[in-house]
A = this chain, B = another copy of it.
Amino acid sequence: METDKRIVNAMAELLRVQGYAATGIQQLARAAKAPTGSIYHHFRGGKREVAAAALRQTGAVYIQVLPMLLDEHADLATGVEAAFAAAAEDIENTGWANMCPVGTVTGEIADTEPELREVAAEVLTSWVEEGTRYLAGRGLSGTDARALTYALISALEGAFILARGQRSTEPLLAAGRAMAAYTATLPAGASPSSGEKVGPSGADFGEGVGGF
């Protein structure tokens, strides 16, 4: 693989495990099997620019996860609960490792790294837009689709933190039940097979991406 790709992938992995501040350039160089000088050759902006690239890449990968999981169930509320249950199983099976760096890094740098915060905001916005589009395709109104998307991402990110902290699937399962109950109260949750598929198909998670 090209050096710059290796650097970005290694950064994404380190961000996932230990966050931004705790990740050093030398550690990154070791993980990417590249000398420190190469990092600054490919990323003039140093650590910050590498982290930004890693966040964008991860965001583009994970944007496909939720639609893919929900597509498997005809009933939307059932799909929501199943998606949280799948996340719970995954996080337990990987030894309570973090699933995705975006939430962790956002919380860490939102008040101290304006440029990275903007990148994180872009990624989150892309998730919301994609989720809203998908849920509208499943029959929800535009406002309901957007509100549900925000609630789903919030509950998922928060439950991930509790689950990792407590080493328990209970937060994810409880959040899933809650979001499923909320989904069931929304009008017109249609089957995914009414008309054509709306979610992106053939999700390809690449090579260096851990989790899920």
| A 149-168 to B, binary, CB cutoff 8 A, 1 in contact else 0 | 11101111111111011110
> Copy number of this protein in the oligomer?
2
Interface size class of A (residues with CB under 8 A): 35 or more
- Do most interface residues of chain A lie in helix, strand or loop, or is the interface mixed? helix
Q: Which of A71-129 contact B (CB under 8 A)?
A: 96-98, 103-104, 106-112, 117, 120-121, 124-125
Q: Are B157 and A175 in contact (CB under 8 A)?
A: no
**Which chain B positions have C-beta within 8 A of A166?**
121, 124-125
Q: Are B150 and A162 in contact (CB under 8 A)?
A: yes
Task: Write the chain B residue with the least CB distance to A123.
Answer: B165
Closest Cβ–Cβ distance, residue A189 to chain B (whole Å)? 13
**Which chain B positions have C-beta within 8 A of A182?**
178-179, 181-182
Q: Are B106 and A161 in contact (CB under 8 A)?
A: yes
A185 adjacent to chain B (CB < 8 Å): yes
**Which chain B positions have C-beta within 8 A of A107?**
19, 98, 103-104, 107-108, 160-161, 164
Q: Are A98 and B124 in contact (CB under 8 A)?
A: no
Choose among A97, A120, A154, A172 the residue with the greatest number of B CB atoms under 10 Å from its CB.
Answer: A154
Known: A21-B19, A22-B112, A151-B178. A103 touches B164 (CB 8 A): no
